[in-house]
Chain A
Amino acid sequence: MLQTRRTVTFGLVAALGAALLKPVRALAAWNQGAFQAKSTLDGMNALGITNPQDTQDIVIRAPDIAENGAVVPMDITSNIPGTTSISVFIEKNPFPYTGTFDFAAGAVPFVHLRAKIGESTPVRVVVAAGGKFYTAAKEVKVTIGGCGG
């Protein structure tokens, strides 16, 4: 379903042409079901992600221990040919599904983002490529705060 939505979106873009003024995203619905899912699995189901294969070809560069859970920087790179999107799940956040990043027309499958992490958690990444899903995860530990004053 994830894959289908992207294809439809890009098809529309092509149909309307490059001079399209409105942002493409306005045409695709923000997936409320996935974003409100309380587990990674439910989020994946809502996005139509099925049977993601474990892979070494997704590189997640994030801190082993984050200095501040309010801003955890991550660089995510997919080395899988034909990557069209990268989705991020912060497994122990109240709503794990954090976002999907789509690459088209020559964008390199890489994204840098900064996210809020409530407690130590695996950060799971799912890549869509060639109609299949691939996944990798990285543990991020969040320490508690400073003086509390």
Chain B
Amino acid sequence: MRHVLMVGLAAALAAAPWLTASAQTEDEINAEFEKFRAVLEQDNPAELWEVKGEGLWKTPRGPKNASLEKCDLGLGPGVVKGAYAQMPRYFADVDRVMDAEARIVHCMITLQGFKYEDLAKAPFSSATRTPDPVSIVTYVAAQSAGMKLAPSQSHPKEKEAYALGKEIFFFRGGPWDFSCASCHGLEGKKRIRTQLLPNFADPATAIAAVQAWPGYRMTGGVMHSLQWRLSDCFRQQRLPKPDYASETLSLLMTYLTVNASGHVYKGPGIKR
């Protein structure tokens, strides 16, 4: 009842201001978005893919008819709980840093016998199809919900990955001279159109990059992963296309995640 009264009051106060939208400040609009983002987060369709991903993780599949339960995400074979919060990390078997989805793809290849070429052919979701690694990384990410992000920086290659990722983040190129930082390295609350741009170079706001993906995107109603998001950033930067699950993307993710280190991971996300 208190809730109802409060809502009633808010409705009364907000009766007309939308009619004079120009009088509404950016802060008011963003506060309204924020309020309803919390409502949307409460029931996130991403959970549908968590369920699906869990099934894919546990079911014997692929040419080798194996499940992913022997896949080592860094905490030992089959350990999923908390693994995502510590990725990207160095894996000795491949002698490079891998992000969660790249590692899942690696396991699908080595344990289940899938081919990289097949997985990389159409790696991103459409309205009618969600690739398996996207569902699986959604499941894996959800198993770190509520945990503090603590990507490992103890191995020299992990430290190197951060430095290289930083260079990639600030690299200016292409016909429009854009870098990742052109939009996501800006001081103050800048916007593209109405979209607030979190500054991923700033530890206080870098969490937004990591929190959002894997995430359910309301536009189109599709489940997307960070692999897709970063690839799409490069498209919007007017650069060529990074290979799916490539080292370059793992390095960039290392930069973003280490910047967000110490924040509690609340994903999978829900995005505009």
Contacts and interface: CB of A to CB of B under 8 A. Distances in A.
Chain A interface bracket (under 10, 10 to 19, 20 to 34, 35 or more): 20 to 34
A103 to B, nearest CB: 16
28 contacts: A56-B8, A59-B8, A59-B11, A61-B7, A63-B32, A63-B36, A65-B18, A65-B29, A67-B33, A67-B272, A68-B218, A68-B272, A70-B218, A70-B221, A71-B221, A73-B36, A73-B40, A77-B7, A79-B4, A114-B40, A120-B18, A138-B11, A145-B219, A146-B192, A146-B272, A147-B195, A147-B236, A149-B235
A67 B193 CA distance: 12
Interface of B, secondary structure class, is helix
Interface of B: 4, 7-8, 10-11, 14, 17-19, 21, 24, 29, 32-33, 35-37, 39-40, 43, 192-195, 218-221, 235-236, 272
Interface in A116-149: 120, 138-139, 141, 143-147, 149
Contacts, number: 69
A66 interface: yes
Interface in A56-99: 56, 59-61, 63-68, 70-71, 73, 75, 77, 79
A64 B272 contact: no
Contacts of A147: 192-193, 195, 236
B7 A71 contact: no
